[in-house]
Amino acid sequence: MSNALAIAAVTETLRRILDTGINSAIPGTTITVKPPDKARNGITTNQVNLFLYQTEVNAAWRNMDMPRQVRPGEIGRPPLPLNLHYLVTAYGEGDEDGPAHRLLGLAMGLLHDHPLLDASEIEAALADSELHEQIERVRITFQPLNLEEMSKLWTTFQTQYRISAAYQAALVLIESTLPGRSALPVLRRGAADTGPAVLAASSPVIDEVRPPRLLPGVRLGDDLAVLGRNLDGEGITARFSHPRQPAPLERAPLPGASASRLNVHLPSTVEDPVGMSAWAPGFYTMALAVSRPNLPTWLSNEAPFALAPIITVSPASAPAGDINLTLTCAPRMRDGQRALLLFGDRQLSPQSVTNPGDPAQPTSLTFLVQGVAAGTYVVRLRVDGADSLPFVLTDTPPHLEFDPLQSVTVT
């Protein structure tokens, strides 16, 4: 198939066709392939100039695989399909229009008689292009230009208009240099050539992942409610994915799942010794993985939720003015995560973020809060968009209140 020399091969083939045909009728005619503003430099004799003024991708071929090279099921590399646009301009000896008209008529007649470029002509012009081996023929088509299009074209050339005609050469396929991929033939379809497995049971579908008490996020130690359909099947495991975790985490649902609801417990750092470093604050997606005997594991759709950081604040009280705050964040933050302190209505970036050498210890962050007036300020930590939850649930009657342990009193 054709390579990067294909464009040059088309241009040289057209130049040779014009050179042979015109010089047999008007000997001594010069055939050039120069930009229109340079074509007449140093030439005063009869001349025909062939200029490639535009290339465009052929829309019909732009995503098609190379013919005869890609079989169904293989990954091919589509070739670069091009339409080439040429301008043929005639110049008479001494810049006379009479000879120019005859030259243009000869050139247009030759191109009309060559609607398809012959493979032998292309090979003789530039064999290294391999364009002559292309399965698609290169077709030459006259392109009529109205007065406005011709005016814009010659204005772009920044030279005086001369009598000319436009043609399109299509199709030119430049083969990709990237290798394709071919799968091996299938010898067996499944174990013992039994064919694909057919599962009669419906797959689980997640409609919503709901934190406890309809809070904006869930914390380690909480139960996460999953609402949806077909949630009471066998072999279901909750799979949690985080953009900064190398591999998903999996948890088994709690007993008592129904078709429309199941609960998943996220173990606290006390329940799970490695939970401090296994999890990370931020946004997760959860899917349900289904494993059945003799069948590959498949996944349901995914649903997002926020894993809120659990924080401690020190000091709990301070005099008015500049305050140096230290926060701890559980679970530990990952490299590249962004943290913000929400102090009252302020947003502040940390001065330092430190993960202790002991993976069971939380992340430590320090902040400088300047010019704090007297009052009580609720403190929150935002990690990659997930806020800590500064709430506590009271029992009589049940309602939410701000957690006094997540606030700073300034006197």
Q: What is the mean pLDDT of residues 128-145?
A: 92
How many degrees, rounded to 5, is the angle at CA 52 between CA 49 and CA 55?
Answer: 165
| 100 falls within a domain | yes
398 has pLDDT over 80: no
Comparing 57 with 69, which gets the higher pLDDT? Answer: 57
Quote the pLDDT of residue 294: 78
Based on the fold, state whether residues 26 and 59 are members of the same structural domain: yes
199 has pLDDT over 70: no
The model carries a pTM of 0.59
Task: List the structure tokens of 12.
Answer: 């040289």
Q: What is the mean pLDDT of residues 184-199?
A: 75
Query: Could you give the 3-state DSSP secondary structure of residue 214?
Result: helix
Block residue for tokens 């074209």? 153
Q: What is the 3-state secondary structure (H, E, C) of 109-163?
A: HHHHCCCECCHHHHHHHCHHHCHHHCCCCCEEEEECCCHHHHHHHHHHHCCCCCC
| 186 falls within a domain | no
Based on the fold, state whether residues 35 and 150 are members of the same structural domain: yes
Quote the pLDDT of residue 67: 66
Based on the fold, state whether residues 20 and 81 are members of the same structural domain: yes
CA distance 312 to 373: 22
Domain span at residue 149? 6-174
Average pLDDT, the chain: 91
Comparing 399 with 72, which gets the higher pLDDT? Answer: 399
CA distances from 325 to 58, 337, 370, 384, 405 (A): 63, 20, 11, 20, 14
Q: 3-7, 89-93, 123-127, 192-196: which has the minimum mean pLDDT?
A: 192-196
Based on the fold, state whether residues 348 and 314 are members of the same structural domain: yes
CB atoms within 10 A of CB 223: 13
CB 30 within 8 A of CB 45: yes
DSSP letter at 6 equals H
Q: What CATH number did the domain enclosing 382 receive? A: 2.60.40.650
The contacts found for 101-107 with CB under 8 angstroms, 24 or more apart, are 101/163, 102/26, 103/22, 103/26, 103/29, 103/46, 103/47, 103/48, 104/48, 104/163, 104/164, 104/165, 106/21, 106/22, 106/25, 106/26, 107/18, 107/21, 107/22, 107/48, 107/165
Paired residues of 288 in beta bridges: 238
Based on the fold, state whether residues 42 and 89 are members of the same structural domain: yes
Based on the fold, state whether residues 262 and 128 are members of the same structural domain: no
| 197 falls within a domain | no
337 has pLDDT over 70: yes
150 has pLDDT over 80: yes
335 has pLDDT over 80: yes
Task: List the structure tokens of 380.
Answer: 């929150």
CB 219 within 8 A of CB 330: no
Q: How confident is the model at residue 176 (pLDDT cuts 50, 70, 90)?
A: confident
CA distance 267 to 209: 17
Task: List the structure tokens of 215.
Answer: 């809070």
201 has pLDDT over 70: no
66 has pLDDT over 80: no
Q: How confident is the model at residue 198 (pLDDT cuts 50, 70, 90)?
A: low
Based on the fold, state whether residues 277 and 401 are members of the same structural domain: no
Q: What CATH number did the domain enclosing 216 receive? A: 2.60.40.10
372 has pLDDT over 90: yes
Task: List the structure tokens of 91.
Answer: 């110049």
Based on the fold, state whether residues 18 and 157 are members of the same structural domain: yes
Phi-psi region of 338 (alpha: psi -120 to 50; beta: other; left: phi over 0): beta
Q: What is the mean pLDDT of residues 311-321?
A: 95
92 has pLDDT over 70: yes
Chain segment 248-300, per-residue pLDDT in tens: 999 999 999 999 999 999 999 999 989 999 999 999 999 999 998 878 889 99
- The domain tally of the chain equals 3
Q: How confident is the model at residue 188 (pLDDT cuts 50, 70, 90)?
A: confident
Residues 6+ apart with CB under 8 A from 352: 364, 365, 366
1 has pLDDT over 70: no
Based on the fold, state whether residues 20 and 164 are members of the same structural domain: yes
